[in-house]
Amino acid sequence: MAHKIDITRSDILSPITYQGIRREKRSEIVKIKQNRRLAVGPHVTFYFECYETIWYQIHEMLRIEKGGEEQIPEEIQAYNSLIPKGTGLVATVMFEIPNAEHRARVLAGLGGVENTIIMEIGNETIRAAAEEDLDRTSATGKASSVHFMHFTLNSEQICAFKNNNSQVTIRIEHVNYDHMAIMPKNIREELSKDFS
């Protein structure tokens, strides 16, 4: 069965209805995210998104900001591009450094990091593309702590991704953050569902 690739107004619950199922939904999302999370190096985590994670995020934003009906189209427009469309993967990439001063120092040296992220599937290399909503590197060369990255694969690369005989790695090749991680089987199996 094909998975949903867009959230529409009819998918959005009323605040009262959502509050009634929020605890149950949060538990579901925690389980889903367990197999969609990949650490790369000491400070970066890739959170691979899907319809369910974005649906949850939109509802949480509506709950927190209480913008009512007017807020709904804005959130749908902002988040729909982060749902995989069947030919690729989408990741929220976060630099997770608890200490604010240390985080500022690290990010100050990571300008352009969003242009150095690649996926390797066997001998194939897929360069990630950053979400074009806004610049993620400031004029002073400081990187944002959050990036939204798209990996677009062709049909052969998708087959290789699903085939456990090929190794899949995520690599960041920035001069000040050169790290990679091999994607384990449980994550590959979960992310394979994103290819329709």
Summarize pLDDT for 25-43 with one digit per residue, the tens: 999 999 999 999 999 999 9
pLDDT at position 1: 39
Residues of the domain holding 182? 9-194
Q: Residue 136 above 50 pLDDT?
A: yes
Number of domains in the chain: 1
- Indicate the pTM of the whole model: 0.91
What pLDDT does residue 143 have?
87
Determine, yes or no, domain membership for 2: no
- Residue 64's SS3 state is helix
User: Is residue 99 in some structural domain?
Assistant: yes
Give the pLDDT of residue 165.
Answer: 80
Predicted pLDDT at 139: 59
